[in-house]
Structure 1
């Protein structure tokens, strides 16, 4: 039980935290802005395909990585002119008032190599646009757009208010209360629940059904073993990012013993089951881990 002196402090801190969280997670500005930016990215992808003479194939779902970089992906191969790509991206970003400083890389998906890129740096009055005029051959490409200081620009008044309120609330709590181990475990449990993995994860042309442990590609259905599904689940949540071997080897933790070649063997099995889509690869980063 809380003492009569501590109880008012606890109630005040709790109310302040509730108000701060409600302000922070109010689903108006940032959610709308992100959805709008995704639409702009899809428009860019659509116009790039049209400029290459393709009016029928799809722009695949656009996603944003943890570092704020947008990935525009395409269903089919196409060829492009760097001049057209630069013009399309600049016009759409300026028209929709997105951040003025950004870097664009066009990646050839089979080799995972950057074959063309440019930087627009309005704040420095210096733009870097190499290799213009050299048409690129037909292939699977993705277009990656990274805005400068994305995380900093996302901050606004409501987050400053929310952060300040949260700090004051914590000061009140630590001034009057001793937080118990049981309370900490409850908070961790809530956070883990909120971080639940989606039941269906998109991996380019594949739909990965995490609960039922199978891959779906058009009419094809590929069954996965328990460990294959767990490994793919880890890789799929960090697409285009390095996942260290130690993280992947946690799949074997329950067995107590990890055989050095077990991970490599199961990665090899996964590669065979992902062969239907040549744009999907599990890349070995020597001595470090793997990247999907």
Structure 2
């Protein structure tokens, strides 16, 4: 049965475009984190150069919280607060990072803050102390904490709104009673796809690693590339504890360590596996994760 109204067709098309655009943007947080880590490494590189060190390494940068980065160095060095302030200011401004941030220089052995300053552009005030006082050579690391703008929260509300728009789109299609052939064409039938690749059983789920999706009954649950890689490691050793270090190898090729990335992906996978009560994705505190499958509950 064809669409009866050009207006409904245009509305449906626009909703598809908006929903597709938001889907592509849903993983922007990982891209932003990776970009910011590169900026942090460049800041560390320039700090070493300013101290006369052009050969030792900036160690992998840790993202220790939603808004904090930890820059570590291979060798000891000395610094003047003036150069630290200037280098970080330039790096933040040129990279269009949040304009409000606090910097602490931490002495490694005693884990004490030996120097710090704050730049608070939104409050039109900076707190920069002890400029011009050269610090002795030692093992230091730098922690930079950003204050995120409220614009970041708007994207979440917008995403929820788009979900409502997608629901409206589904209601339009249901109301127009599009025939089963049109539904199968737009929905890419699961049976034909399922037969093209091997899957791993996880309770009542079928996991297609190469095609990046889970199949639960007639429902298809899409997975990102990294979600598939993490789930592949867990699903290969069901009912067995997998250490965090083994799961974090998924990020090794990128040369960065993002502290909460693994926890975020585990949380996403746990939601996508919640339909089957026989399957639980468990966190063993301080050790790792495991997929626990209770065969007696499998339907």
Given the two structures, how large is their TM-score scaled by the length of structure 2? 0.51
Is residue 71–residue 142 contact of structure 2 (8 Å, CA) maintained in 1? yes
Show the 5 A alignment for 1:212-251.
230-233=243-246, 246=285, 248=287
Q: Could you tell me how far apart the structure 2 residues matched to 1:165 and 1:124 are?
A: 33
SS of equivalent to 2:287: helix
Quote the residue 1:86 is aligned against: 85
Post-superposition offset of 1:56: 0.8
CA contact (8 A) 1:120 1:128 kept: yes
- Aligned position for 2:15: 16
Q: SS of the residue aligned with 2:118?
A: strand
Aligned equivalents of 2:163 and 2:16: distance in 1? Answer: 6
| TM, length-normalised to structure 1 | 0.52
- The verdict on how the C-alpha distance between 1:79 and 1:252 changes in structure 2, with shifts beyond 3 A counting, is farther
**Contact 2:22/2:162 (<8 A) preserved:** no
Report SS of the residue matched to 2:243.
helix
1:165 to 162, 167, 192: 162
Match of 2:73 in 1: 74
> Is 1:120 the equivalent of 2:119?
yes
Distance 2:291 2:31 in 1: 41
Deviations 1:215-254 (A, max 9, x none): xxxxxxxxxxx96x6143468888667x986463755978
Deviation at 1:135, TM superposition (A): 1.0
Aligned residue in 2 for 1:107:
106
**Alpha-carbon distance change, 194 to 135 in structure 1, aligned in 2, over 3 angstroms:** closer
In structure 2, stretches of 5+ residues that fail to align are: 175-215, 235-239, 252-256, 264-282, 294-299
Aligned pairs (5 A) from 1:260-279: none
Aligned to 1:264: none
CA–CA distance in structure 1, aligned partners of residues 53 and 153 of structure 2: 35
Describe the shift of the 1:192–1:93 C-alpha distance in structure 2 as closer, same or farther (beyond 3 A): closer
Specify every segment of 5 or more residues in structure 1 that has no aligned partner in the other structure, as ranges.
199-209, 212-225, 255-292
Aligned match of 1:52 = 51
Shift of 1:102: 1.1
Count the aligned residue pairs. 218
CA RMSD of aligned residues (A): 5.1
Alignment CA distance shift 1:119-1:19 (3 Å): same
Q: CA deviation at 1:55?
A: 1.0
Going from structure 1 to structure 2, the CA distance change for 1:250 and 1:55 (only over 3 Å counts) comes to: closer
